[in-house]
């Protein structure tokens, strides 16, 4: 009885293996995206200059090309000796006006007491109050003027206008700059891909379309996907300009050229699961069922075309035709 049961299990296993081995795949054309290779350049969303707010001589320069900077970071310092001299002159004037204000306060207090005792007329009190107000207002004016010069001195610090990277230095230590002169050019941190697509693809290109960048462009094997953000309406030199966003572009040089694959419409192609392919001596083969046997046929492999129906789909360029029954090796 045990031998019969063992034989039955063995036969069932053999039949199951045979059924799995004989699983067939019917070749039929499918609609796939017709990808086209175009070149794109890595560009900053905008390049903004870090400008000097005062005129003077560049005292320090703390960045160089390629350095990363944060918004508000001091990248250079501009000094002006005249500002220090103006502050010293204003300090002397403030000391003199402070003494005048103190004396005016003393005179006002003395006159006020004499007026209350009836020794002096009230017009003298009005004159003393006016002299005190003039002295105090002059002191406040000079103090405010000194604050303006002090603010100009602090504005000698050239600050980064945005997060990003230094593309170019326009000055060196010791250079003379005027108010508004650019000290450095800062590329904002958000980089985009600027595509230049032949105009024959203009009608097929629209915002929201996916793009693909080969992994070799990034120094690894995994391809990266992106999305087209904007398609410019003007055609330049027979090319359509478009901007696309791809993650992890921050480590690239600004202006670096990459090969990008875009969708140029749809076309029909033969797509089969990768498990039906075998490779021997560098040549790909599939097993095609003919009558009661399977024939090994060489094929030309294309690119990977994953889809929800065939997650491991591979395009076959030649070697098979519609209606062929593929047998899994």
Round the average pLDDT of the chain to a whole number and report it: 82
Give the tens place of pLDDT for each residue, 186-208.
Answer: 888 777 888 888 887 777 778 88
Whether the full predicted model's pTM is greater than 0.85, yes or no, is no
Q: Does domain 51-79+156-189 have CATH number 2.40.50.100?
A: yes
Give the three-state DSSP class for 122.
Answer: helix
Judged against a pLDDT cut of 80, whether residue 22 lies above it is answered with no
Judged against a pLDDT cut of 50, whether residue 17 lies above it is answered with no
List the one residue out of 179, 168, 176, 149 whose CA is nearest residue 75: 168
Judged against a pLDDT cut of 60, whether residue 102 lies above it is answered with yes
* Selection from 119-128, 255-264, 267-276 with the highest mean pLDDT: 267-276
The band of 50, judged by pLDDT with boundaries at 50, 70 and 90, is very high
Note the pLDDT of residue 218. 59
The band of 251, judged by pLDDT with boundaries at 50, 70 and 90, is low
Note the pLDDT of residue 98. 92
Give the tens place of pLDDT for each residue, 290-299.
Answer: 877 888 889 9
How much helix, strand and coil, in percent to the nearest 5, is found in the chain?
30, 40, 25
Sheet holding 176-177, edge to edge: 157-159, 74-79, 56-61, 176-177
Q: What is the rounded distance in angstroms from the CA atom of residue 163 to the CA atom of residue 161?
A: 7
The more confident residue out of 313 and 33 is: 313
**For the chain, what percent of residues have pLDDT higher than 70?**
89
Distances (CA, A) of 308 to 128, 194, 305: 94, 30, 10
Q: What is the rounded distance in angstroms from the CA atom of residue 147 to the CA atom of residue 141?
A: 10
The more confident residue out of 171 and 204 is: 171
Q: What is the rounded distance in angstroms from the CA atom of residue 89 to the CA atom of residue 83?
A: 10
Judged against a pLDDT cut of 60, whether residue 244 lies above it is answered with yes
Are 96 and 110 within 8 A, CB to CB?
A: no
The band of 184, judged by pLDDT with boundaries at 50, 70 and 90, is very high
Q: What is the CATH number that goes with domain 36-46+191-267? A: 2.40.30.170
Query: Burial, 135: exposed, middle or buried (Cβ in 10 Å; 0-12, 13-18, 19+)?
Result: buried
Give the tens place of pLDDT for each residue, 142-163.
Answer: 999 888 888 878 788 899 998 8
Tokens standing for 70? 């944060």
Instruction: Provide the 10 A C-beta neighbour count for residue 156.
Output: 22
Judged against a pLDDT cut of 50, whether residue 9 lies above it is answered with no
Q: What is the rounded distance in angstroms from the CA atom of residue 142 to the CA atom of residue 93?
A: 7
Instruction: Provide the 10 A C-beta neighbour count for residue 313.
Output: 20
Note the Cα 317 to chain centre separation in Å: 38
């Amino acid at each position: 009885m045990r031998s019969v049961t063992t034989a039955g299990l063995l036969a069932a296993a053999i039949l199951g293996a045979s059924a799995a081995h004989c699983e067939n795949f019917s070749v039929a054309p499918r609609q796939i995206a017709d990808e086209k290779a175009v070149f794109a350049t890595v560009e900053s969303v905008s390049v903004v200059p870090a400008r000097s707010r005062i005129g003077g001589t560049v005292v320090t320069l703390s960045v160089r090309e390629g350095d990363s900077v944060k918004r508000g970071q001091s990248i250079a310092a501009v000094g002006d000796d005249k500002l220090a001299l103006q502050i010293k002159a204003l300090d002397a004037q403030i000391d003199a006006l402070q003494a005048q204000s103190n004396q005016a306060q003393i005179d006002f207090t003395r006159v006020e007491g004499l007026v209350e005792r009836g020794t002096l007329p009230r017009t003298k009190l009005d004159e003393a109050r006016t002299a005190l107000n003039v002295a105090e207002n002059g002191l406040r004016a000079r103090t405010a003027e000194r604050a303006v010069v002090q603010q100009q001195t602090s504005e000698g610090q050239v600050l980064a206008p945005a997060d990003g990277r230094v593309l170019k230095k326009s000055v060196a230590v010791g250079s003379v700059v005027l108010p508004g002169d650019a000290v450095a050019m800062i590329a904002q941190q958000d980089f985009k891909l600027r595509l230049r697509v032949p105009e024959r693809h203009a009608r097929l290109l629209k915002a929201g379309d996916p793009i693909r960048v080969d992994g070799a462009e990034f120094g690894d094997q995994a391809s990266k996907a992106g999305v087209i953000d904007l398609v410019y309406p003007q055609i330049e030199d027979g090319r359509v300009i478009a901007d696309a966003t791809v993650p992890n572009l921050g480590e690239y040089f600004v202006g670096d050229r990459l090969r990008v694959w875009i969708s140029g419409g749809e076309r029909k192609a033969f797509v089969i699961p990768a498990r039906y392919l075998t490779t021997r001596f560098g040549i790909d083969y599939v097993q095609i069922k003919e009558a009661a046997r399977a024939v090994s046929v060489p094929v030309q492999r294309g690119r990977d075309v994953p889809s929800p129906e065939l997650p491991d789909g591979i395009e076959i360029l030649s070697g098979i035709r519609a209606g062929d029954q593929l047998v899994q090796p």
